C-alpha cells in the first residue's frame, strides 16, 4: 500500500489486513511501555488546511507511538495565509524529507493531487478532504463494529473476519459527510448492509449509485433492528445560509437519537458518532452517554487504526527518492 | 524465523537433514537440557517466535509437562511477535504484524527461553531481545533453536541447539512442521549449483 486516499480503493483483503494490523497495534497499547521502535528515523508531516483537533492528535499519537518524528503544519499562521499554493507547500515538505504526509484539506481531491502530481515522494494519507473521503475514520468505525458485533462480541479481536451480515444505519447530514461516503464504500466492501437515513434535503444527488439503501424515516429503520446506528454531525459550518431543515427542533424530532429511540434498538446494537457531537441536536445526552454508546472507544481505536495505516504505508518501502533530486537514500 | 539468503531456486534437490523422528528426539533432548540448566521448570517461560517458533515452543512445553509432574504446559508458553522491532523493515516487502501473547504471570523475574526454528544472522533474536525489554524484566533470557546454521552477523549464540548445520550463505534451510506444513522435516535447499 503506497497511499491511502479513499476507502473505495481498498479491496476486502486489504481492508481486513488493516483491521488485523490495528488489532495487533491495539494490543501493544495496553502495555506499560506503549512506544514501539518500528518507524524510528521516519518523518511524518501532519498537513492540516482545515481545523481538526481529534484527527490531528490521533495521527500525531499514532506516529509517535511508532517512534516516527512528527511535524505539525497547520494552515493558520503559515505561509499558506500569505498565499502559498499546495504545490509549493508540498515541495517544501519534500525538501525537508517527509516520508509520509497526512493531509486534511477543505478541497475534495487535494490528497489525490498531492499523491499523483509528483511534488512529493512520500506516502500520502487522506485525513479528510472536503465532502469527499475520510478513509481512516471509516476504518476505525469498521474496526469498532468488528470488535463489538463479530465473533465473541466485545472479547478478543476477531482477526481475519469481515463484517458480513451486519446492518448499519448511518443517520443525519449525509450530504456534507465525507465520513458517510467512506463508510458506505468500506462497509459494503466488508460485506455489511448500509441504510442511509436523512431528510431529503440532506441526501446527495446521485445517491442511487451508492451501495446503500436510503430512507427518510428514522423510526422505520430502527424497527428493522440494525446492529449499529452511526449518527452524523450536522455540519452547520458547511450549510451556508441554511434552509436544509426548518429548525433544529424539527430536525431533532425527525432524526435525533434520544432515549425513546434508543429503547427501540435490539439488545446488542451499538451507537456510534464520529465526533464532535452536537448534543441535543442529532444525539441526546441520554444516547451519547448510554452503555451501548461506543463514541469514546472510537477515539481510542482511531489511534490503533492510524498506527496500522502508517505502518503499512511506511514500513515496507525503500527510502523515497524523487526523480531528478538527490534522494535521502539509506 | 528462518531468514534465507535469497537464492534463485537453483539446482539440487532438497536434502533432508532431519526427519520426524530426529526432530522429536532433538526436542526431547532440548527439553531435558532446559530443565537441567534451570534446575526444574519453576519461573520458566517459553516464548515462541512466529511463525514456526510458536508450535516448537508448544511442543517443548508439552515435553516439559511430561517430565515434570504437576506442570501446566499452557501456563508457561507464549508467543512473541518481533515484527515491529526488526531493523530491516525498510528493505523488505511489508511484513504482516503477528500477535504477542504472554503467560498470565508476565515476564518479570522469570527465566525466558526464546524458541525459534532456525538461527542464522541473529537479527531476529536481537529484535526479540528489544521486544522483551519493552514487556518486562526477566531474570535471564536463553535461546533454544532447532537448527543453528551459522553466518551470525551479531554477537548472539544459542543455549540449546537441536542440530548444528554448517551451511554456505547461498543455501536455504527450511523447517517443516506438522502444525503448519503437514509434516515434520528439516530440508537443505540449493545445496549444489
pLDDT number for residue B114 = 98
Query: What average pLDDT does range B105-120 have in this prediction?
Result: 96
Q: Does A21 touch chain B (CB under 8 A)?
A: yes
Cα–Cα dist A123/A130, whole Å: 20
Q: Is the pLDDT of residue B59 over 90?
A: yes
| pLDDT tens for each residue of A252-310 | 999 999 999 999 999 999 999 998 999 999 999 999 999 999 999 999 999 999 999 99
Q: Does B95 touch chain A (CB under 8 A)?
A: yes
CA dihedral sign of residues A276, A188, A63, A115: negative
Task: Give the Å distances, CA to CA, from A309 to A207, B22, B185.
Answer: 29, 44, 37
Q: Does A37 touch chain B (CB under 8 A)?
A: yes
Cα–Cα dist A317/A328, whole Å: 13
- Rounded to a whole number of angstroms, the distance from the CA of A234 to the nearest CA of chain B is 38
Q: Which residues of chain A have pLDDT under 70?
A: 77, 81-83, 152-156, 317-330
Q: Does B85 touch chain A (CB under 8 A)?
A: yes
Cα–Cα dist A39/B90, whole Å: 9
Tell me the angle at which helices B20-37 and B53-67 cross, rounded to the nearest 10 degrees: 60
Query: Are A313 and A123 spatial neighbours (Cβ–Cβ below 8 Å)?
Result: yes
Q: Which residues pair with A133 in a beta bridge?
A: A129
Q: Does B24 touch chain A (CB under 8 A)?
A: no
**CA Rg, chain B, in Å?**
16
- Rounded to a whole number of angstroms, the distance from the CA of B137 to the nearest CA of chain A is 12
pLDDT number for residue B192 = 59
Q: Phi/psi of residue B187, each to 5°?
A: -115, 145
Partner residue opposite A21 with nearest CB, options B89, B97, B134? B97
Residue B116 DSSP one-character state: E
Class of domain A135-297: alpha beta
Residue B94 DSSP one-character state: P
Long-range CB pairs of A244-253, under 8 A, 24+ apart, other chains included: A244/A173, A244/A175, A244/A199, A244/A201, A244/A202, A245/A199, A245/A201, A245/A202, A248/A281, A251/A199, A251/A281, A251/A282, A252/A280, A252/A281, A252/A282
Q: Phi/psi of residue A257, each to 5°?
A: -95, 115
User: Where in chain A do CATH 3.40.50.1370 domains reside?
Assistant: 7-133+299-328, 135-297
The CATH number of the structural domain formed by A7-133+299-328 is 3.40.50.1370
Residue A257 DSSP one-character state: B
Q: Does B79 touch chain A (CB under 8 A)?
A: no
pLDDT number for residue A156 = 66
Query: In terms of CA atoms, which chain B residue is nearest residue A38?
Result: B84
Q: What share of chain A is helix, strand, coil (3-state, %, to 5)?
A: 40, 15, 45
| pLDDT tens for each residue of A106-115 | 999 999 999 9
Average pLDDT of chain A to the nearest whole number? 90
pLDDT number for residue A99 = 94
Which spans in A3-85 are helix H?
12-28, 54-65
Tell me the domains of chain B and their CATH numbers: 21-170 (3.40.50.2020)
Query: In terms of CA atoms, which chain B residue is nearest residue A22?
Result: B97
Q: Is the pLDDT of residue B89 over 70?
A: yes
Reported as a pLDDT band with limits 50, 70 and 90, residue B191 is: low
Task: Give the Å distances, CA to CA, from B158 to B89, B117, B148, B161, B166.
Answer: 24, 11, 8, 6, 15
Task: Give the Å distances, CA to CA, from B45 to A155, B41, B141, B144.
Answer: 25, 9, 9, 12
User: Of B78, B86, B89, which to mutate for an interface test with A (greatest number of A Cβ within 10 Å)?
Assistant: B89
Query: Are B76 and B99 spatial neighbours (Cβ–Cβ below 8 Å)?
Result: no
Q: Provide the number of CB pairs (under 8 Å) joining chain A to chain B.
A: 55
- Rounded to a whole number of angstroms, the distance from the CA of A221 to the nearest CA of chain B is 39
pLDDT number for residue B6 = 46
A316:B92 CB<8 A: yes
Stronger pLDDT, B6 or B48, i.e. the higher one? B48
User: Of A29, A32, A38, which to mutate for an interface test with B (greatest number of B Cβ within 10 Å)?
Assistant: A38
The model's pTM is 0.88
Find out whether the peptide bond into B133 is cis, omega within 30 degrees of 0: no
| pLDDT tens for each residue of B5-32 | 444 444 568 999 999 999 999 999 999 9
Q: Does A318 touch chain B (CB under 8 A)?
A: yes
pLDDT number for residue A186 = 98
All residues at 6 or more sequence positions from A88 whose CB lies less than 8 Å from its CB, including other chains: A79
Closest CA to A307 of A55, A65, A92, A54: A65
Q: Does A232 touch chain B (CB under 8 A)?
A: no
Left if phi > 0, otherwise alpha if psi is -120 to 50, otherwise beta: which for A160? left
Q: Phi/psi of residue A103, each to 5°?
A: -120, 135
Query: What average pLDDT does range B144-150 have in this prediction?
Result: 97
Amino acid at each position: 500500500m503506497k497511499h491511502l486516499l479513499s476507502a473505495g480503493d481498498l479491496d476486502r483483503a486489504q481492508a481486513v489486513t488493516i483491521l488485523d494490523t490495528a488489532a495487533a497495534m491495539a494490543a501493544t497499547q495496553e502495555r506499560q511501555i506503549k512506544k514501539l521502535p518500528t518507524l524510528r528515523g521516519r518523518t511524518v508531516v501532519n498537513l492540516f488546511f482545515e481545523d481538526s483537533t481529534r484527527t490531528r492528535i490521533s495521527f500525531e499519537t499514532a506516529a509517535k507511538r511508532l517512534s516516527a518524528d512528527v511535524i505539525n503544519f497547520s494552515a493558520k499562521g503559515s505561509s499558506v495565509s500569505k498565499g502559498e499554493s499546495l504545490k509549493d507547500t508540498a515541495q517544501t515538505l519534500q525538501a525537508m524529507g517527509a516520508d509520509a504526509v497526512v493531509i486534511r484539506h477543505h478541497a475534495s481531491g487535494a490528497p489525490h493531487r498531492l499523491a499523483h502530481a509528483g511534488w512529493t515522494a512520500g506516502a500520502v494519507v487522506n485525513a479528510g478532504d472536503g465532502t469527499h473521503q475520510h478513509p481512516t475514520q471509516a476504518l476505525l468505525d469498521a474496526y469498532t463494529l468488528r470488535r463489538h458485533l463479530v465473533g465473541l462480541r466485545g472479547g478478543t479481536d476477531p482477526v481475519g473476519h469481515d463484517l458480513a451480515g451486519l446492518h448499519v444505519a448511518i443517520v443525519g447530514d449525509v450530504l456534507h459527510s465525507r465520513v458517510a461516503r467512506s463508510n458506505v464504500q468500506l462497509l459494503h466492501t466488508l460485506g455489511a448492509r448500509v441504510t442511509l437515513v436523512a431528510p431529503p434535503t440532506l441526501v446527495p444527488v446521485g445517491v442511487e449509485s451508492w451501495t446503500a439503501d436510503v430512507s427518510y424515516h428514522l423510526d422505520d429503520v430502527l424497527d428493522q433492528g440494525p446492529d449499529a446506528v452511526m449518527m452524523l454531525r450536522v455540519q452547520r459550518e458547511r450549510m451556508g445560509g441554511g434552509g436544509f431543515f426548518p429548525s433544529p427542533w424539527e430536525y431533532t424530532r425527525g432524526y435525533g437519537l434520544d432515549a425513546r429511540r434508543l429503547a427501540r434498538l435490539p439488545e446488542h446494537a451499538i451507537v456510534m458518532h464520529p465526533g464532535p457531537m452536537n448534543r441535543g441536536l442529532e444525539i441526546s445526552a441520554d444516547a451519547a452517554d448510554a452503555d451501548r454508546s461506543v463514541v469514546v472507544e472510537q477515539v481510542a481505536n482511531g489511534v490503533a487504526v492510524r498506527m496500522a495505516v502508517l505502518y503499512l504505508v511506511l514500513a515496507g518501502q525503500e527510502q523515497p527518492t524523487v526523480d531528478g533530486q538527490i534522494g535521502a537514500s539509506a | 524465523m528462518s531468514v534465507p539468503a535469497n537464492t534463485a531456486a537453483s539446482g539440487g534437490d532438497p536434502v533432508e537433514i532431519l526427519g520426524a523422528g530426529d526432530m522429536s528426539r532433538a526436542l526431547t533432548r532440548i527439553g531435558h537440557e532446559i530443565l537441567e540448566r534451570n534446575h526444574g521448570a519453576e519461573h520458566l517461560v517459553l516464548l515462541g517466535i512466529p511463525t514456526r517458533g510458536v508450535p516448537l515452543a508448544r511442543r517443548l512445553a508439552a515435553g516439559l509437562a511430561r517430565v515434570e509432574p504437576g506442570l501446566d504446559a499452557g501456563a508457561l508458553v507464549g508467543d512473541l511477535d518481533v515484527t515491529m522491532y526488526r531493523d530491516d523493515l525498510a528493505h523488505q516487502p511489508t511484513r504482516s504484524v503477528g500477535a504477542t501473547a504472554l503467560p498470565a504471570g508476565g515476564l518479570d523475574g522469570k527465566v525466558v527461553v526464546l524458541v525459534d526454528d532456525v538461527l542464522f544472522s541473529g537479527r531476529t533474536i536481537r529484535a526479540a531481545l528489544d521486544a522483551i525489554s519493552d514487556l518486562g524484566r526477566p531474570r535471564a533470557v536463553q535461546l533454544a533453536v532447532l537448527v543453528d546454521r551459522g553466518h551470525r552477523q551479531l554477537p548472539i549464540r544459542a543455549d540449546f541447539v537441536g542440530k548444528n548445520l554448517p551451511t554456505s550463505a547461498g543455501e536455504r534451510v527450511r523447517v517443516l512442521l506438522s502444525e503448519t506444513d503437514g509434516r515434520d522435516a528439516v530440508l537443505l535447499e540449493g545445496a549444489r549449483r
